[in-house]
Amino acid sequence: MLDSVLVWFRRDLRASDHAALCEGLRRARRVYCAFIFDSEILDALPARTDRRVEFIRESLVELETALRQRGGALIVRHAWATSEIPRLASELGVTAVFTNRDYEPQAKTRDATVAAALGTLGIGFESFKDQAIFDGPEVLTQAGRPCTVFTPYKNTWLKRLTDDDLAQHATENGRLVSSPCATGVPSLEEIGFCPTDLHQVGIVPGMSGARRLVDDFRKRIACYREQRDYPAIKGVSYLSVHLRFGTVSIRELVSLALANGAMAGVEGAATWLSELIWRDFYFMILDRFPHVVENSFKPEYDKVVWEQGEHAERLFAAWCEARTGYPLVDAAMRQLNSTGFMHNRLRMVVASFLSKDLGIDWRRGEAWFARQLNDFDLSANNGGWQWAASSGCDAQPYFRIFNPVTQSGRFDPDGRFIRRYLPELASVPNKFIHAPWRMNAAEQSACGVIVGRDTPTPLVEHGEARRLTLARYAVVKRAAAA
């Protein structure tokens, strides 16, 4: 039995089913808890108003209350984690620091630095699997290598799954202790940030916000498969930001899928489970193949020559600012820029449009999403963008190019989503809502929407853009044949 342990919270802001907290309470006589607003991360953010920071801050308030109700407290500091965790551990006189694993390269480097610094002080450092069902070498091919194709990965994942993998990490027993260091959660202003419109865009932070969404989704999971691709319908779970910051446990969500018939072939639950497995898959790819952060998973795709120069800059700016002239693309980008959320189907559409219609390097789109998304997660964001650009593992073939008009007509047939985010198109008839430029002059005048005045002229013609993309990606075909 250890004398005392410091549990370091990061992207796991809950008091229940928490691996590191469970291990601390099981193995130590006294458990302290801490969270660091890491200056290394916060100082790199482009703006001092960031919904993610406010989400974390409000979730910490709820977590701190939960810990105090059990006799503990949450020590919150604003500093560089690499120096503050060793300093705090020494100040508290703990035997070890426990935390949950993070798979991002920068986080792994940070943890190695912290572990080394603690080691010089004679303090241990242990990390635990918490945000994934399986990690490291737990899901491998028969040859003992990481699975880089999703379906075999999923099949192995499902075969390996047991009740033990979903067992909750109990946090009810053991002794949480407080400390004079625990002086409450600082305000946003105290860490250099300003309040945002977090609640106005419908986000309720913390464990209570996650619980509300889980309870709501439980009633709708049966319809998930048939409704998830339609952005005008309440078909998805909206839990992504809570998964990102760990205000809900992945084990609880997988258990929810199983309880609703995922293994028995019930389509809604089975599809939801598959999406959760994709999440594990992308964690694994980032963990085992960290080169994807800067480069294509498939090296031959780094030979693709993207558009450059002033023209490319104008195209990229128009995409970012929702001025492409393609209503579904522009509505999706307005949703992202105004709320920090984008429906998953639309993420695929706009990513394909940027890389394969406009010929812009997928990394630029990935970086824009990283800046805008409330639920930004490096593994999923990188995986999604590389999937759309065909450069990733198990990605769509390079010759599969989404037609934005076809996608619009299929997944927003009545233009409800488009009109919600592009109210200037409200009077456009359904017949033309997906492609207003197809109206003749009289039809434009009749509905009061003039293309080029009230709505942008399309940046590119999709058929011609597709031809150019196939030529651009020919370098990949040649590399494969060599």
> What backbone phi and psi angles, to 5 degrees, belong to 75?
-85, 120
Dist. CA 306–CA 375, nearest whole Å: 28
Dist. CA 265–CA 267, nearest whole Å: 6
Q: Which of 362, 382, 387, 403 is catalytic?
A: 362
- If phi > 0 it is left, if psi is from -120 to 50 it is alpha, else beta; for residue 444 that is alpha
User: What pairs with residue 128 in β-bridges?
Assistant: 100
Q: What is the DSSP letter of 397?
A: P
Q: Which of 382, 385, 387, 403 is catalytic?
A: 385
Q: Which of 40, 91, 138, 275 is catalytic?
A: 275
Q: Which of 126, 295, 300, 344 is catalytic?
A: 344
362 tagged catalytic: yes
Q: Which of 40, 80, 306, 443 is catalytic?
A: 306
Three-class DSSP category at 282: helix
306 tagged catalytic: yes
385 tagged catalytic: yes
- Token pair 């309470």 is at which residue? 25
What is the DSSP pairing of strand 96-100 with strand 75-79? Answer: unpaired
Helical pair 344-352 and 378-389, crossing angle rounded to 10 deg: 50
Q: Name the residue among 60, 15, 4, 271 with its Cα closest to residue 168.
A: 15
User: What pairs with residue 7 in β-bridges?
Assistant: 33, 98
278 tagged catalytic: yes
The number of helices, as runs of H, and strands, as runs of E, in the chain is 22, 5
Q: Which of 278, 319, 368, 387 is catalytic?
A: 278
Active site residues: 275, 278, 306, 344, 362, 385
